Chains A and B, each alone.
Chain A
Amino acid sequence: MEPVLEVRDLQKYFPVTRGIRQKTGGMLKAVDGISFDLYRGETLGLVGESGCGKTTAGRTIVRLYEPTGGTVRLHGQDIFSLSEKEMLPVRRQIQMIFQDPYSSLNPRMTVGDTITEALEIHGLAAGRRNERVGELLDMVGLGHEMAGRYPHEFSGGQRQRIGVARALAVEPQVIICDEPVSALDVSIQAQVINLLEELQEKLGLTYLFISHDLAVVRHISHRVAVMYLGKLVEVAPSDQIYDNPLHPYTEALMSAIPIPDPKVESQRQRIILTGDVASPIDLPPGCRFASRCPKVEDRCRQEEPAMVDVGGGHLVACHLVG
């Protein structure tokens, strides 16, 4: 099967400026060479802790940040070599849903205007835009009669639905969801997760689902990619990553997540990580997780492990595996 989106060796570095003269003092390697494929109709979960570069990766893929290196191909077409004008049809195919439903909507525009703007830019639904806005609002479960309202009249969960409607307006194939439910209460979170799942089935959408919440990611994703300090450490089908995590970081991450069941919790063995997280500015040679890894060996501190395929679509970058 042909992938919809191929990400190869994606890099995004930010210059670090220090002091009053803004002297450049090194590079912060937020995303430092990640590769994966995204297939039609699937959800790939991208997980990791704060500062690991998952949000930067999502934003660089759609060129909200200019990439430092690597390629992203959409249906085989390299989108990093396109001009801003040539990007317009590409942006119609890849859309984004943001984390914060409070700051990602313009407070001075009605919901209808926000969605209409997207239609206008791409020249869609000419002559029947109001009707189309109504359809979209119905599709995300808000109801077409909400078009005239302003963002402040909605709750967090409803605003996230508006964000979904805006993304869907241009009929994209791929949606990058950046922590779309993290700001929501649990009872509302489930509503939005279900909506995303239903829309995927109905419209054949492909999701890159970025989140720090592994329980949510396991639920919604077909495959999961685990990121640590700018690199992927493990990629596997979502049941595999839970039943058989191979990278010590994935293992620690899984064991750290509390499960809402006192019987299960009392039986669990936690792997408690010690040591400090390495700085993304002065990265040590070798494996980035070595400073906190409970299974660290000498070569881990010298040589960076390569990603290897252990079979069944399960990839891992660790010297101790394979």
Chain B
Amino acid sequence: MALLEIRNLRTSFFTHLGEVKAVDGVSFQVGEGEAVALVGESGCGKSVTALSIMGLVPPPGKVIGGEIIFAGEDLTKLSGPKMRHLRGNVLSMISQDPMTSLNPVLNIETQLGEGLRLHKGMDAKAARERVLELLNLVGIPEAERRLRQYPHEFSGGMRQRLMIAMALACSPKMLIADEPTTALDVTIQAQIIELLKELKSRLSSSILLITHDMGIVAGLCQRVIVMYAGRVVETGSVEAVFDDPQHPYTWGLLRSLPRLDQRKERLVPIPGQPPDLLASPQGCPFAPRCRWAMRICVKQMPEMITTAKGTVACWLQELGPQAVKRAREEVA
């Protein structure tokens, strides 16, 4: 059984302009010990999905439908105190910005030990021991001396390590990492990714990695979920999605990327822009940007169907795998 199962999740923001459907019927699973990537561009709903799982959607946002089953319990139905008991304990999150996510007036020992005292009932001494262990685990040198320091005394990469250490403090079953390296330089990013890989194999936690960087996905994850305009458009194993993408958005995204190891004459961009989530379209949200769009695409939202290697929501599938392949290989 999956550790996390999301069924038809809907989260909306009720703004003065109207309802923004940030997450509009999203379903997926994350297995035990599995690293799954949630990818898509800004505004596609990937971060809101993460916040919905954590029960941290800020107002005027609200989870308005669906189920989030974590270890057999529906998180959307849990009370505040019960959710607080899970958060930071068995379910934890690393957020995007290491600069603003740490409390500047608490030293490292107090800050990292808070969860341990609260969730695990450790006394000050035991918590201190565990914090030291965590600092070593995430590769912060001179841990003993660092315990008394404050966040401003750490560099960006080091702060992100602190965030990871804090998230791992109670050995969570699941770690949600929301763009954990976006704010960092590439050489520091490489260190953090190595660290996540190592932790995954050592602690066998599940990871839900939220990112727009397909390169990181390729190096770290086993499965990919592609989101567009608040919906899941494709899922599959990393190999399947990168080698044999089924949705025009997925292959468009991969084709528009410049690659360090290849020389491309011209990039093939996806024309147009992501849709306005205030006015959700009747049909497939990608249809206005899709050069293979058919009449039905603008009229009716395609159902998620299971293919040989994953799932996809696209009307092209009705024409058979050969037609999909031909469409994909047709270069603009």
Which of A's residues lie within 8 Å of B, judged by CB? Answer: 49-50, 155, 157-158, 185-191, 193-194, 197, 212, 214-216, 218-220, 239, 242, 252-266, 268, 270, 272-273, 276-277
Contacts and interface: CB of A to CB of B under 8 A. Distances in A.
A268 B260 CA distance: 13
Contact of B256 (A186, A261, A276): A186
27 contacts: A49-B185, A185-B42, A185-B212, A186-B256, A188-B273, A190-B258, A190-B270, A193-B267, A193-B269, A194-B269, A197-B266, A212-B185, A214-B260, A215-B257, A218-B258, A239-B263, A252-B187, A254-B260, A257-B260, A258-B189, A260-B259, A261-B242, A261-B261, A262-B242, A264-B218, A264-B261, A270-B194
Contact of A49 (B187, B212, B217, B266): B187
B193 A194 contact: no
Interface string B297-312: 0000000000000000
Contact of B186 (A49, A187, A259): A49
Contacts, number: 123
Residue of A189, A193, A194, A264 contacting most chain B CB atoms (<10 Å): A264
A50 B41 CA distance: 23
Contact of A157 (B219, B257, B273): B273
Interface of B: 41-42, 155, 185-187, 189-191, 193-194, 212-219, 238-239, 242, 252-254, 256-261, 263-264, 266-271, 273-274
B155 A276 contact: yes
A253 B259 contact: no
Contacts of A188: 269, 273
Given A186-B41, A194-B267, A258-B213, 11 more contacts: A157-B273, A187-B269, A188-B269, A189-B269, A191-B271, A194-B269, A215-B260, A257-B186, A257-B260, A270-B190, A272-B190
Contacts of B155: 276-277
Given A190-B268, A260-B242, A50 B185 contact: yes
A189 B256 CA distance: 8
Contacts of A216: 258
Contacts of A255: 190
A158 B272 CA distance: 10
A216 B256 CA distance: 11
Contacts of A260: 214-215, 217-218, 242, 254, 257, 259
A189 B42 CA distance: 13
A186 B257 contact: yes
Nearest to B42: A185
Contacts of B193: 258
Contact of B215 (A220, A259, A272): A259
